[in-house]
């Protein structure tokens, strides 16, 4: 579909509010973390609500409360709540948890039990959090996971809805999604080309609107990002655009009832062509005025430091709040091991780069206050107070790390810069974006065998330095480091191998 | 840079003419082919001009006459003509050809001698071709190669300009571009960040305007596509936007003098992010109204069958003529051998797909009438009469072949779908675009060892068929073939290997 000029003038009123000039953070609280981590604690309405207090006075503007995966963490009347089938008096091997590995049952039960006991007492944590967020001038949102696939390799898992279990014919890749073993979890996603699937999900949207007074509703299409039969995504995408339009129309009605504007958001894949090819045409939804908040993001396997923000802005237009989604993990490439996590310095790097490229928000996913959290959790308060604005990032040490994209449409050729194997005397180039001017820049490589003859940053020679610290995240074998000239924006590293070998990690760090 | 709505209204008058509703072909005649292939033939003004006659009454609309590489094929007063330093009475080992391999000297001399002898007789072939094109209601263009690098591994080659030889300091990667051996030809390209380089090229633009009365001037940035120091492309791109603006302003003046509109065109890399990252922001130039004809194209190594036309249209807008550039070679991936060429059926496939995705033109590069030509040259007249419109392609056999992108910015991760190695029982997906509905579709794979357990097209099972022909281009070992359901637009092939092996070629053929 081609956008014509008339489309630009066919936008609903909600869109005409330009994005706030000041950038800030958006934070996603997932649908299980609080219930797991607060299990067994004495609970009052105040103790529930006070969870939100830690975000008051930070750069967090939107607090996006994820309230469902296949089941809801509240007492839904239209979907199965997480405690459906739970017997609080029975042991951990009760039917609900029987398919769960014995060592995982007690953990799963924590979520279920906490949510169940709140419901028993008539406490709705989402209502409390929304109210507390408003009191702190945070903007409360509900985030709805549109196709969550946790545990689908276990069809009997306590996490699954009756609707999903009852309708294998609604799955995305039906010819590969029966039996206990599956080629790929994503084969078992709902196929949104079925009207029954769309309607089933729309009922939860309606319930959210009725139940909660939020500033915005996010449709999280990135849990898990695959919603159509391979090859049918463009037709599917047209159906989704209709679905998003229906959601926007519903919010238009609720805006009148609530007396304030209600935004619609969407989380979509990180690169425009992939998003379109997966039927998740967020740029079109923004241009049509259907969504007012668009988050571009990898799925989960790694933060994606090189999100093409400028391209999204051109495609999605100036009126949408364009939000750059971070994930907690950090990998230079998919099979890199061991698994590592972002820390304050790598988040600063990603945030500085993405804000300088025009993102209106840095969106934190899986950056929660415990368990699923930064390993340097002592820096969490600083992260919440620094990483949403360039002025608060200025002058602080940051790291720009080459990572990769973890989401591609079926058949789309997938690429990553790393690892890179080099013959003797061979040249290689790497590319990363360093945000605003970075002084005292250090170029760091993880080398296996390889020895570097010459290395340049944007054409300028770099000088080897010794005795640099070995920061985390980082390679167990440590870095080789070079002093680089100051850099701003795009950095291209050109290097020549003196001895053959492999490069596994590339970063530029500085202040 | 972000486009704002006011930009849409700041376009010069030339832009306001919408692209012609009817699609058609554009044909590039390179700057040496005619001179090589007509060498030694008796030449009259009529024999020169009659070269154009073969394109009369075909679907060719723009005839783009390439008139320079580093030297000009006409008697330029501002650049070196190709015959500079040529002594017609001296043998082939005269200084001009001394660095050329002995077996290549006679060939090179043909170009030089033909061009020289025409100039001696006061015949300017470009003037004659432009006039003849007009008589046939073809639209004559001049195409200017902006950074041609043929033979730069031989710094003394007859093809090089004195300016290039005299200024190694103006090269793109100066630290790698001295000596007879170079890492990459593209290191020796001019670096357009130097004002002297831009001015030198602008002088030829001025001469073209003065010398020839054309309908359009094309800036061919894809010979060879690399114009800035690695890492400096975005700053460079801003300078190029200024350069393109200056060219458009010059054409505005000449429009008044000539009394007709003169379009500005550009050839840029095939994918938007790569184009931007190389400083070739054709979409911006189109949005700003600086170019009216935008050709997206691979460099040379293979036709790129999956040009993202829809994305370009969104970025570049509706007012530009969006032209999909074909090359003559066809490779499934870069190291595939032997080298093969497109034939009528593969061009039909690419053209049908690209036109159905919204291209206004199919642009033929290296599809000339001899030598650099389709191997099935007997089909050239048909190609010129069929491949510019969907209605003339309808009902004719065509082949859609998976290829790859041959141009990436430095450090940009490069990907291709093929070759694909598969373990036993492993699944793989491939993606290609098949244009309008394709009936009697055959799915063809080149397999090495691999045996296929199951294969589906957009989810539908395909049935093996025997005894299919082994068409060219195609693998020497032949294809394995399956009968596929009818397909339209995107096709995703899902297959599972029964035995491990490799897949080298994927295509869908049909009528």
Q: What is the pLDDT of residue B10?
A: 39
**Nearest C-alpha of chain B: how many angstroms from A283?**
10
Asked if B458 and A231 come within 8 Å (Cβ–Cβ), the reply is yes
Task: Dump the DSSP string for B162-207.
Answer: HHHHH-GGGBSSGGG--SS--S-GGGGSB-TTSHHHHHHHHHHHHH
What does residue B76 show for φ and ψ, rounded to 5 degrees?
Answer: -65, 145
- Which tokens go with B427? 């699944």
> CA B102, CA B179: separation in Å to the nearest integer?
21
| Closest chain A residue by Cα to residue B173 | A459
Q: Which residues of A touch B419 (CB under 8 A)?
A: none
Asked if B231 and A273 come within 8 Å (Cβ–Cβ), the reply is no
The residue-averaged pLDDT of A389-417 equals 97
pLDDT per position as a tens digit, A257-291:
999 999 999 999 999 999 999 999 999 999 999 99
Mutation for B interface: A181, A413, A423, most B CBs within 10 A: A413
Name the H helices within A121-194. Answer: 125-135, 162-166
Contact A507, A417 (CB under 8 A): no
Of residues A380, A382, A387, A327, the one with CA closest to residue A355 = A387
Helix (H, G, I), strand (E, B) or coil at B63: strand
| Closest chain A residue by Cα to residue B416 | A413
Q: Which residues of A touch B490 (CB under 8 A)?
A: 231, 233-234, 277
Contact B475, B456 (CB under 8 A): no
| Closest chain B residue by Cα to residue A411 | B430
**H or E, element range at A208:** helix A195-211
Instruction: Please tell me the pTM assigned to this model.
Output: 0.95
- A21 pLDDT more than 80: no
Q: Which residues of B touch A430 (CB under 8 A)?
A: 411
| A323 HSE (CA, 13 A, CB side) | 32
Of A272, A413, A417, the CB nearest to B311: A272
Asked if B4 and A308 come within 8 Å (Cβ–Cβ), the reply is no
What does residue B330 show for φ and ψ, rounded to 5 degrees?
Answer: -140, 120
Of B276, B311, B429, the CB nearest to A230: B429
CATH assignment of A420-510, among 3.40.190.150, 2.60.120.1200, 3.30.230.70, 2.30.42.10: 2.60.120.1200
Of A175, A234, A459, the CB nearest to B489: A234
pLDDT per position as a tens digit, A185-228:
999 999 999 999 999 999 999 999 999 999 999 999 999 999 99
| Closest chain A residue by Cα to residue B404 | A413
Contact A375, A39 (CB under 8 A): no
Q: What is the pLDDT of residue B178?
A: 65
Q: What is the pLDDT of residue B239?
A: 98
> CA A315, CA A296: separation in Å to the nearest integer?
12
- A2 pLDDT more than 60: no
Measured in whole angstroms, how far is the alpha carbon of residue A226 from the centre of its chain? 15
Q: What is the CA radius of gyration of chain A?
A: 23
Tally A–B CB contacts below 8 A.
132
Q: Which residues of B touch A410 (CB under 8 A)?
A: 429, 431, 492, 494
- Which tokens go with B389? 């419109």
Of B318, B411, B457, the CB nearest to A492: B411
Helix (H, G, I), strand (E, B) or coil at A414: coil
Give buried/exposed letters for A439-450 (b at 16+ CB in 10 A, else e). eebbbbbbbeeb
Q: Which residues of A touch B459 (CB under 8 A)?
A: 173, 175, 229-232
Asked if B175 and A234 come within 8 Å (Cβ–Cβ), the reply is no
Domain positions in chain A: 5-395, 420-510
Mutation for B interface: A231, A419, A457, most B CBs within 10 A: A231
Q: Which residues of chain B have pLDDT under 50?
A: 1-20
Task: Tell me the average pLDDT of chain A.
Answer: 94
The residue-averaged pLDDT of A430-451 equals 96
> CA B435, CA B356: separation in Å to the nearest integer?
5
Task: Name the band, by pLDDT with cuts 50, 70 and 90, for residue A178.
Answer: low
Can you list the pairs that B284-287 forms with residues at least 24 positions away whose Cβ atoms lie under 8 Å?
B284/B1, B284/B3, B284/B241, B285/B241, B285/B244, B286/B315, B286/B316, B286/B317, B286/B319, B286/B320, B287/B3, B287/B7, B287/B8, B287/B315, B287/B316, B287/B317
Classify B5-395 by CATH class. alpha beta
Of B2, B427, B458, the CB nearest to A318: B2
Asked if A493 and B413 come within 8 Å (Cβ–Cβ), the reply is no
Q: What is the CA radius of gyration of chain B?
A: 23
Q: Which residues of A touch B272 (CB under 8 A)?
A: 311
- A468 pLDDT more than 90: no
Contact B202, B246 (CB under 8 A): yes
Of residues A228, A185, A387, A378, the one with CA closest to residue A303 = A387
Q: What is the pLDDT of residue A7?
A: 42
Asked if B458 and A4 come within 8 Å (Cβ–Cβ), the reply is no
Asked if A2 and B492 come within 8 Å (Cβ–Cβ), the reply is no
- Which tokens go with A86? 């739970």
DSSP B72: B
> What HEC string does A279-335 produce?
CCCHHHHHHCCCCCEEEEECCCCCCCCCCCHHHHHHHHCCCCEEEEEECCEECCCCC
> CA B193, CA B96: separation in Å to the nearest integer?
30
Of residues B270, B295, B276, B269, the one with CA closest to residue B217 = B295
> CA B290, CA B284: separation in Å to the nearest integer?
8
Asked if B490 and A412 come within 8 Å (Cβ–Cβ), the reply is no
Task: Name the band, by pLDDT with cuts 50, 70 and 90, for residue A176.
Answer: confident
Q: Which residues of B touch A432 (CB under 8 A)?
A: 411
| Closest chain A residue by Cα to residue B430 | A411
Any bridge partners for residue B490, and if so which?
B433
pLDDT per position as a tens digit, A374-401:
999 999 999 999 999 999 999 999 999 9
Q: What angle do CA B13, B14, B16 make, to 5 degrees?
A: 65
Mutation for B interface: A279, A458, A492, most B CBs within 10 A: A492
pLDDT per position as a tens digit, A348-369:
999 999 999 999 999 999 999 9
Contact B85, B36 (CB under 8 A): no
Any bridge partners for residue A190, and if so which?
A171
Asked if A427 and B231 come within 8 Å (Cβ–Cβ), the reply is no
């Amino acid at each position: 579909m081609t956008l014509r000029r008339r489309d630009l003038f066919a936008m609903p009123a909600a869109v005409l509010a330009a994005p706030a000039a000041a950038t800030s953070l958006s934070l996603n609280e997932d649908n299980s973390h609080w219930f797991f981590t607060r299990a067994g604690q004495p609970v009052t309405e105040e103790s529930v609500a006070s969870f939100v207090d830690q975000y008051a006075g930070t750069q967090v503007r939107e607090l996006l409360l994820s309230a469902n995966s296949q089941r809801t963490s509240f007492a839904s009347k239209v979907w199965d709540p997480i405690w459906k089938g739970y017997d609080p008096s029975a042991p951990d091997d009760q039917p609900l948890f029987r398919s769960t590995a014995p060592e995982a049952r007690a953990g799963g039960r924590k979520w279920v039990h906490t949510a169940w006991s709140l419901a028993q007492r008539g406490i709705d944590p989402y209502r409390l959090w929304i109210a507390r967020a408003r009191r702190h001038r945070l903007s409360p949102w509900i985030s709805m996971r549109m196709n969550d696939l946790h545990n689908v390799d276990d069809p009997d898992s306590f996490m699954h809805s009756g609707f999903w279990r009852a309708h294998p014919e609604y799955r995305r890749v039906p010819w590969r999604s029966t039996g206990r073993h599956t080629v790929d979890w994503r084969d078992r996603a709902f196929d949104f080309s079925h009207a029954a699937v769309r309607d089933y999900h729309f009922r939860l949207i309606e319930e959210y609107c009725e139940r909660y007074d939020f500033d915005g509703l996010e449709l999280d299409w990135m849990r898990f990002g695959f919603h159509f039969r391979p090859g049918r995504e463009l037709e599917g995408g047209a159906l989704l655009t209709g679905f998003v339009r229906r959601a926007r129309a519903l919010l238009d009605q609720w805006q009148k009832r609530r007396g304030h504007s209600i935004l619609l958001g969407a989380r979509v894949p990180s690169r425009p062509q992939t998003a379109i090819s997966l039927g998740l045409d967020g740029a079109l939804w923004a241009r049509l005025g259907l969504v007012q908040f668009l988050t571009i993001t990898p799925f989960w396997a790694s933060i994606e430091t090189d999100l093409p923000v400028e391209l999204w802005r051109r495609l999605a237009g100036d009126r949408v709040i364009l939000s750059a989604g971070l994930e907690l993990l950090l990998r230079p490439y998919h099979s890199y091991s061991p698994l590592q996590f972002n820390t304050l310095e790598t988040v600063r790097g990603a945030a500085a780069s993405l804000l300088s490229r025009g993102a209106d928000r840095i969106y934190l996913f899986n950056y929660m206050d415990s368990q699923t959290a930064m390993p340097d959790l002592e820096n969490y308060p600083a992260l919440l107070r620094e990483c949403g604005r360039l002025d608060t990032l200025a002058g602080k040490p940051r790291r720009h790390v080459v990572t990769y994209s973890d989401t591609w449409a079926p058949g789309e050729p997938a690429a990553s810069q790393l690892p890179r194997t080099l013959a003797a005397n061979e040249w290689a180039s790497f590319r990363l974006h360093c945000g605003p001017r970075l002084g005292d820049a250090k170029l760091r490589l993880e080398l296996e065998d390889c020895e570097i003859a010459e290395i340049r940053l944007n054409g300028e020679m770099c000088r080897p330095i010794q005795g640099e610290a070995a920061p985390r995240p980082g390679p167990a074998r440590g870095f080789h480091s070079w002093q680089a000239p100051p850099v701003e924006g795009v950095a291209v590293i050109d290097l020549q191998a003196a001895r053959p070998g492999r490069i596994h990690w590339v970063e530029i760090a500085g202040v």
